[in-house]
Amino acid sequence: MQPDTVMTTTIEKRSMKYTFSTVCRGLLALMLFAAPLAHAQLVVEITRGQANAIPIAVVPFGWDGAGTAPFDVAQIVAADLARSGRFAPLERRDMIDRPTAGSQIKFQDWRYLKSDYIAVGKLVSTGGDQHAVEYELFNVLNGQRLAGQRIPSTTAGLRATAHRVADQIFEQLTGIPGAFSTRIAFVSMDGTPPQQRYKLIVADADGENQQIIADSAEPLMSPIWSPDGQSLAYVSFESRNAAIYVQALRTGERTRVSARAGINGAPAWSPDGSTLALTLSRKDGDLDVYTLSLATQVLTRMTFDAGIDTEPVWSLDGKKLYFTSDRSGNPQIYEVEVDNSSKLRRITFEGSYNARPRLSPDGKQLALVHLDSGNYRIAIVDLGSRAVRVLSQGKQDESPSFAPNGATLIYATQDRGRGVLATVSIDGRVTQRLAARSGDVREPVWSPFPARQ
């Protein structure tokens, strides 16, 4: 009885803070509340950067408006670039000048400070809640102007706009689209067995702006983003059996899409968003991969082996599924054609344990969990050459997920017995750790790129 009481109190407390709309939808009677966390729970720490990180000066932006500037755009831009590990932003205290437009830059000074690039700009009030963020990017060595933009933004949108500026600078200088405007979803777990609390959380890629999506005394697992980034599918044991739910992030509207007898697990969205691949065990306990059309509810069986077949992921064209199967005696990755499930091919042969594949954004590689001399580590398998490259160095690394620009992987690992998240650049040179202040965090999934208006 105790947990129910505690939960009710929490809801009452939280609901006082918010005004609610009057329309309630969804298949279940849900207890829902907007729940931004009071403080950032994830602490991001760069554990290994690139030795030859590019020196750049991101000068504090000017403010063209009344009073003081509502937001420090340059600070977010510099922090994003620093976290990528590819850039070494100049400390503000070392800046001898604060230009806010290209015409004010004395390039000689910045060459003396050994900055290769400089970004300057200002925040302009355009009336009421409206602003414009203006920035310019220059090559310090030759004074060439590389980029310049004016981006309109509301006050509340300034953080997102700053991430967008960082995305553009990153792409201009590396050739890779920045992924600073993206988000991550993950599962947190607090408490000790058997009294545990599970939360599904969404945060900005820098760990800020966290929102609780679902909160339960029963396990939550296997979150995955819809291709449009508007919804999450996940597994919840709230009914004391596994069921798959789809929840829209903006409205909280939630649909139970599969609660069949036995296991309902490992949801994976098709690239066009119309279909979920999932794992069902039905009554006999034989785990197989199926596809489920979200519009028609038509269920199609994809695998027929008596072993464990699970963890499906779609190919980019939606014509194939990669999945884990232990039909050979230990878990390995296979692919099957969606339109012809008799066309099956084994993908991995190296090592005795390869599981939970995730496809790279270019469709050419799989990230997976690979048993590497007694340690479960994140590895990349090239689908062309079949070469296996181990990227992580932990003992129990799992749940790899690619950033949508393909440059970084996020995964779950352990630090002194606690579950934490880590990122590694695809070349293995830059690593980062994201730890919660308390409890375990795991099953990180990187969102797609946000839609641009």
Partner 1 sequence: MRMTQLILVLASAIALAGCPKRSTTVPEGAGASAGNQGAATAGAGSGGAQTGEQLTAEQAALRELERLGMIIYFDYDRAEIKPEYVSVVAAHARFLNGNASRKVRLEGHADERGSREYNIGLGERRAQAVRRALLLQGVTEAQITTVSYGEERPAAAGNDEAAYSRNRRVQIGYGQ
Within 354-373, the residues that bind partner 1 by CB under 8 A are: 355-356, 369, 371
Binding-residue total with partner 1 (CB under 8 A): 84
The residue type at 121: G
The tokens for 194 are 């058997």
27 scored as a contact of partner 1 (CB under 8 A): no
In the complex, the smallest distance separating the C-beta of residue 205 from partner 1, rounded to whole angstroms, is: 19
Rule CB under 8 A: say whether 39 interacts with partner 1. Answer: no
Interface mask (CB under 8 A) for partner 1, residues 102-141, using x and -?
----------------------------------------
Which residue, 30 or 69, is less far from partner 1 as judged by CB? 30
* Residue 350 found at the interface with partner 1 (CB under 8 A): no
221 close to 186: Cβ distance less than 8 angstroms: no
Which residue's entry shows tokens 């992580």? 392
Stretch that binds partner 1, among 110-118, 123-131, 307-315, 422-430 (CB under 8 A): 307-315
Token pair for residue 171?
């792409």
Q: Does 439 bind partner 1 (CB under 8 A)?
A: no
Residue closer to partner 1 by CB (options 75, 216) is: 216
Q: Which helix (H) or strand (E) holds 246?
A: strand 243-248
Residue 163, H or E segment: helix 158-174
Stretch that binds partner 1, among 53-61, 90-98, 283-291, 343-351 (CB under 8 A): 283-291
Phi, psi of 431 (to 5 degrees): -125, 155
With contacts defined by CB under 8 A, name the span among 162-170, 172-180, 244-252, 380-388 that binds partner 1: 244-252
Q: Residue 8 Cβ, how far from partner 1 at the closest point, in Å?
A: 5
Cβ 29 to partner 1 shortest distance, Å: 5
The residue with tokens 């602490």 is 43
Nearest distance from C-beta of residue 362 to partner 1, angstroms: 23
The least distance separating partner 1 from the CB of residue 250, rounded to whole angstroms, comes to 7
Please select the residue that binds partner 1; options are 13, 18, 156, 304, rule is CB under 8 A.
Answer: 18
Contact flag: residue 254 with partner 1 (CB under 8 A): yes
Residues 208 to 237 in contact with partner 1, rule: CB under 8 A: 211-222, 236-237
Check if the beta carbon of residue 447 is closer than 8 Å to that of residue 225: yes
The helix (H) or strand (E) run that includes residue 321 is strand 320-325
Choose one: 11-19, 43-51, 110-118, 379-387; the region binding partner 1 (CB under 8 A).
11-19
Cα–Cα distance, 43 to 39 (Å, whole number)? 11
Site for partner 1 in 170-189 (CB under 8 A): none
Residue 18 backbone dihedrals phi, psi, to 5 degrees: -130, 150
Per CB under 8 A, the list member of 93, 194, 295, 362 interacting with partner 1 is: 194
Q: Greatest CA span in the chain, whole angstroms?
A: 75
Which of 28, 7, 9, 11 shows the shortest CA–CA distance to 20?
11
Does residue 259 touch partner 1 according to CB under 8 A? Answer: no
Candidates 54-62, 174-182, 263-271, 342-350 — which segment interacts with partner 1 by CB under 8 A?
263-271
- Mode of pairing for the β-strands spanning 54-58 and 117-125: parallel
Which residue lies nearer to partner 1 by CB, 39 or 240?
Answer: 240
Map residues 385-424 to x or -, x wherever contact with partner 1 holds by CB under 8 A: ----------xx-xx--------------x--x-------
Is 47 among the residues that bind partner 1 (CB under 8 A)?
Answer: no
Of 73, 166, 185, 266, which one interacts with partner 1 (CB under 8 A)? 266
DSSP sequence for 330-393: S-EEEEEETTEEEEEEE---SSS-EEEEEE-TTSSEEEEEEEETTEEEEEEEETTT--EEE---
Task: For partner 1, give the closer residue by CB, 115 or 401.
Answer: 401
Q: CA 417 to CA 420: how far, in whole Å?
A: 9
Residue 71 CA to residue 83 CA, distance in Å, equals 20
Chain centroid to Cα 314, Å, comes to 18
- Please count the other Cβ atoms lying within 10 Å of the Cβ belonging to residue 414: 16
Is residue 305 a contact point for partner 1 (CB under 8 A)?
A: no
| Cβ–Cβ < 8 Å for 32, 415 | no
